[in-house]
């Protein structure tokens, strides 16, 4: 048997070990007189607003009152207002929290009755909760990510019935790098399953096929300078020859009228010299023009025989790229 002295030592040691744990537990915040007065006013205003049908404003007042001073009465009225607005989950959370409230000294009869009413109301709200089960369908490269109303569900609980408030809900399933979405509206007490087709896995990128042989480079014929020089000379020569030839013919026609029997008067000697000069110039110009034509034709022949490449072709090589012009 353990002696009384040893038992005392053990109890003292246990007390020393448990003391830090006890000190680590946060003590409930005691409301100040200002908290109590403010909460009382908010509580009254919230109930009055609810009686007028302004549930949104009533909810704001009662939530603030309960945050300042948590009592069974504030919890009961806040839970009732949550239930009135269709927020059954929030109502049950507040109502069930009453059972965890410590009993205060000299707690009023109303507070005691509120504890009982809160428990009864929480039980009445439970069957009104809706239930939704998400059924992802299709292949997935891993556990799909399921979220309801923006709240991500842990993978192990993603496909079990989830209790929700009645009303509209948005379900999103993400898998294979894509997402699918569905909207569902639940009635009070309704249990519903929603099947969501998983997006198909994205197709693997197709490897680019190697480039085929480069198309043959375009070649442009480089016209020989002889073409320009030859035909330019031809145009000038033929032009000059034609002009001087016309002048010679005109002068010769005049001399034909003035010169009779091969004899020309002295006054016509200048016309005779002019006709001789223009005739010579015309002949020489025509010869030069014909030579230019010959030169231009020769240039064209040379251009066709020796084309010059002006295209660009890039060819990959082990040391980089090379070009052909």
3-state secondary structure 20-57: HHHHHCCCCCCCCHHHHHHHHHHHHHHHHHHHCCCHHH
C-alpha 13: how far from chain center: 65
Give the per-residue pLDDT at 214: 62
Show the beta-strand stretches assigned E in 177-287.
Answer: 178-186, 191-197
pLDDT above 80: residue 207: no
Q: What pTM does this model have?
A: 0.54
Rounded mean pLDDT of the chain? Answer: 80
pLDDT digits (tens, 9 = 90+) for 160-182: 999 999 999 999 999 888 889 99
Give the per-residue pLDDT at 3: 52
Distances (CA, A) of 174 to 36, 152, 202, 212: 48, 11, 13, 41
pLDDT above 80: residue 60: yes
pLDDT digits (tens, 9 = 90+) for 65-120: 999 999 999 999 999 999 999 999 999 999 999 999 998 888 899 999 999 999 99
Q: Which of 304, 315, 131 is nearest to 221 (CA)?
A: 304
Contact 240, 223 (CB under 8 A): no
Give the per-residue pLDDT at 92: 98
Give the N- to C-terminal CA distance of the chain in Å, as an integer: 110
State the Cα–Cα distance between residues 150 and 110, nearest whole angstrom. Answer: 40
The total of other beta-carbon atoms located within 10 Å of residue 248's CB is: 20
Contact 221, 276 (CB under 8 A): no
The top-scoring range by mean pLDDT among 15-29, 44-58, 274-288 is: 44-58
Residue 207 tokens, joined: 């490897």
């Amino acid at each position: 048997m353990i002696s009384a002295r040893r038992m005392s030592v053990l109890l003292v040691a246990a007390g020393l070990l448990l003391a830090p744990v006890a000190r680590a537990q946060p003590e409930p915040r005691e409301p100040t007189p200002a908290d109590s007065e403010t909460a009382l006013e908010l509580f009254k205003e919230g109930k009055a607003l609810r009686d007028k049908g302004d549930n949104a404003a009533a909810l704001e007042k009662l939530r603030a009152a309960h945050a300042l001073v948590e009592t069974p009465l504030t919890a009961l009225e806040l839970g009732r207002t949550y239930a009135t607005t269709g927020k059954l989950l929030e109502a049950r959370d507040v109502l069930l929290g009453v059972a965890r409230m410590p009993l205060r000294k000299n707690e009023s009869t109303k507070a005691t009755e509120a504890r009982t009413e809160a428990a009864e109301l929480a039980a009445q709200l439970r069957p009104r909760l809706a239930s939704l089960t998400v059924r992802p369908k299709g292949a997935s490269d891993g556990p799909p990510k399921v979220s309801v109303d923006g709240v991500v569900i842990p993978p192990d609980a993603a496909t079990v019935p989830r209790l929700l408030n009645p009303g509209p809900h948005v379900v999103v399933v993400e898998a294979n790098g894509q997402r699918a979405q569905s909207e569902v509206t639940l009635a009070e007490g309704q249990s519903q399953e929603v099947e969501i087709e998983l997006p198909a896995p994205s197709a693997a990128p197709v490897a680019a096929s190697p480039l085929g042989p480069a198309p043959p480079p375009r070649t442009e014929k480089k016209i020989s300078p002889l073409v320009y020089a030859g035909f330019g000379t031809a145009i000038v020569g033929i032009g000059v020859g034609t002009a001087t030839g016309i002048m010679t013919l005109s002068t010769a026609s005049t001399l034909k009228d003035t010169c009779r029997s091969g004899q020309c008067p002295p006054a016509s000697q200048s016309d005779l010299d002019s006709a001789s000069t223009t005739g010579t110039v015309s002949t020489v110009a025509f010869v030069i023009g014909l030579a230019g034509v010959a030169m231009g034709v020769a240039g064209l022949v040379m251009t066709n025989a020796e084309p010059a490449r002006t295209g660009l072709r890039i060819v990959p090589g082990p040391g980089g790229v090379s070009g052909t012009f």
